[in-house]
Structures are given as C-alpha cells and as structure tokens.
Structure 1
Amino acid sequence: MKNNNFLLKEIKDKMNKILYYYKNKMSQIRIGKANTEMLDDMTVEYYKKKVPLYHLSSIEVINSKTILIKPWEKNNLSLIEKSIIKSNIGIIPINNGKFIKLVIPSLTEERRKEIIKRNNLKLEKAKISLRNLRKDYKKKIMKEFSEKDLMEKSKKDVHEATKEYIYKIEKIFEKKNQEILPT
C-alpha cells in the first residue's frame, strides 16, 4: 500500500513533465524576435535518419532578428535548408554556401491574434492534461486508501497540486501573450 506522500510526489512529478512540455512548446513560438529555441525540435534527414538540427550545426542569434546556422560539414547545408523549408516555421532560409541565415519577420496584427488563439488551445490542452491526471489519481486514491480521513486528505492534496500547476501554466501563458501583444 502506498502512502499519501508517495502518491503526491508521483503526481507532482507527472505534473512537472506536463509543465515542462508546455513551457517548451511556448518557448518555440515565433514572436518576431530571434530565438534559437524555435529550432529545438527541428530534425534533418541525415543518412535516412532524423537527426536534431543542433547535432549537425551550431545555431546562434546574431541580433534580435537574425539566427545563423553553421553546419559542421558543408555538404549538410542543403539538407538543413530543406528541413527548414519543410518545417513550416514561416521563415525562408538564406543559404550563402557557408551558412544559413534566418531573418525573423515582424509579426502583423493578424498573425499576433492567430498565435494567441493557438496559445489558448495549447493552454486548454495543458489544463485538460492536468485535470485528467487529477481524475486518474483520485480514482487511484479510492483504490489505495480505505481510511476515509486519509482518502479525503489525499484527494485534497491532489486537488491543491492541480490548482498550483494550472496557475503556473497560466502565468507562462500570460507572459507569452504579453510578449506577443505588448500593451
């Protein structure tokens, strides 16, 4: 039989994973400023395998609007360029034969609103994931504990943890939206 502290640690570990995933997805959103994190999930078809872009090149921010990608091997330039085009990040790579330059265009008002709509969907998905986790753990608590007081305390602890993580996710959401639509 598991105890309350073990269950609480277990659910918080899972909630941390949801929080990390959400934070990572939000950091990859292009907001008109150069940010290497937007390329973190990018892969390149390299010898019939998908390889992370950062394994094949250095990636650096030159200024607030420009990212420079320097492949370790020159013959990977075209592979990297194709991957960027396929990725649909909305940036056209500039290949000069030695490196690839990505110039981040400024966001239009329409594009900003579209991004915020997508952010709302991501926020809701993250909240739903947390609530589903809470629901699963409440069922687990019902099975694990026979003592009513311990069962109620465990349910309350899980509920409080869920509220805490929803709050953290909402803060990330608010911060990102302030970057996108500055007042």
Structure 2
Amino acid sequence: MTNKNFFLKEIKEKMKPILSYYKNKMSKIRIGKANHEMLDDITIEYYNNKVPLYHLSSLEVINSNTILIKPWEKNNLSLIEKSIIKSNLGIIPINKGKFIKLVIPSLTEERRKEIITSNKLKLEQAKISLRNLRKDYNKKIIKEFSEKDLIEKSKKEVHEATKESISKIEQIFENKNKEILKID
C-alpha cells in the first residue's frame, strides 16, 4: 500500500512547475517599464540555430523606459533588429550602428485593459491546469485506497493543496494588475 502522504507530496511537486511557469509569464509582461526579462524569449537565427538574444549581446537597462542591446559581433545587429520586430513585443528597435536602443512606450489606458484581459485568460489556464492535476490525483487516490475515510482525507488534502496553489497564482495576478494600473 502507498503511503498516504505520497500523493500530497507528489501533487505539490507537480504544481511547482505550473506556478513557476505562470509567474514567469507574468514577469515578462511589458508594462511601460524597461525590464530585460521581456527579451528572454527572443531568439536569433544564427548559423541555422535559434540562439537566445542574451547569448549574442549584452542587455543594459539604462533608465525606466530604455534598454540598450550591444551585440558581441556588429554584423548581428540586423539579425537582432529583425528578431525584435518579429517578436510582437510592440517595440520598434532603433539601430544606432553599434547598438540597438529599445524605448518602451508608456501604456495607454486601453492597452492596460487589454493586458489585464489577457492576464485573466492566463490565470484561467493556470487554474484549469491545477484543477486537472487535482482531478487526476483524486482518481489515483480512489484506485489506491480502499478505506473510505482515507480516500476522503487524501482527497481533502489534495483539494487544500490545489486551493493554496490557486491562491498563489491569484495573488501574482492581482499584484501584476496593480502594477499595470499604476500610472507613473
């Protein structure tokens, strides 16, 4: 027979990547402030390989709305510029010959609302992932245990772990929305 705490430990471990992924997605949302993390997903086609931007250049946040990208090799400037344009960041790179300057525009009220709507969808997707995980573990618990009390206790523990994780992502969501709505 499986240790009754096994399912609880296992589901908590399986929830960590969902929380981490959600937190990572929220941290990359552009909110009108320069942040090098917003460039983490940009890859450059370099000798038939997709290479992360930060492998080909240095990134420097010089003030609250400007990032400088300094390629290690000057001939990568146009490749980097094209990749930024394709990335759908909504930022037009300014090629200065030796570096690329990114000026992060302030968000309009309409754009802030669009971002919050998009964030709600991401929040719901994360909640669905957590609930599906709970559903899968409830099925495992029923298969593993025969004692009704043990099944109910285990299901309750799994439910509480799910509730706790959902609360964490909701807090991340609320914090990000406060940040988005804050007008500088």
SS of corresponding position for 1:68 = strand
Q: 74-83 or 169-178, which moves further after superposition?
A: 74-83
The alpha-carbon deviation at position 50 of structure 1 amounts to 0.9
Counterparts of residues 60-75 of structure 1 (less than 5 Å):
60-75=60-75
Deviation at 1:143, TM superposition (A): 1.0
After superposition, give the CA deviation of every residue in 1:64-97 in whole Å (9 maximum; x if it has no partner): 0001111111111111111000001000001111
**What secondary structure does 1:105 align onto?**
coil
Provide the rounded CA distance (Å) in 1 between the counterparts of 2:3 and 2:45: 47
* Segments of 4+ moved more than 6 angstroms: none
Q: Distance in 2 between matches of 1:49 and 1:4?
A: 47
Structure 1 gaps, min length 5: none
Deviation at 1:157, TM superposition (A): 0.7
For 1:36-63, what per-residue CA distance to the aligned partner results, in whole angstroms no more than 9, with x for missing partners? 1111111111111111111111112110
3-state SS of paired residue (1:176)? helix
Question: TM-score, normalized by length of structure 2?
Answer: 0.96
Query: Please, which moves more after superposition, 154-163 or 40-49?
Result: 40-49
Read off the aligned partner of 1:119 and give its amino acid letter. Answer: N
Aligned equivalents of 1:119 and 1:46: distance in 2? 32
Deviation at 1:2, TM superposition (A): 2.9
Q: How many residues align?
A: 183
Aligned to 2:132: 132
Q: Secondary structure at the match of 1:91?
A: coil
Match of 2:154 in 1: 154
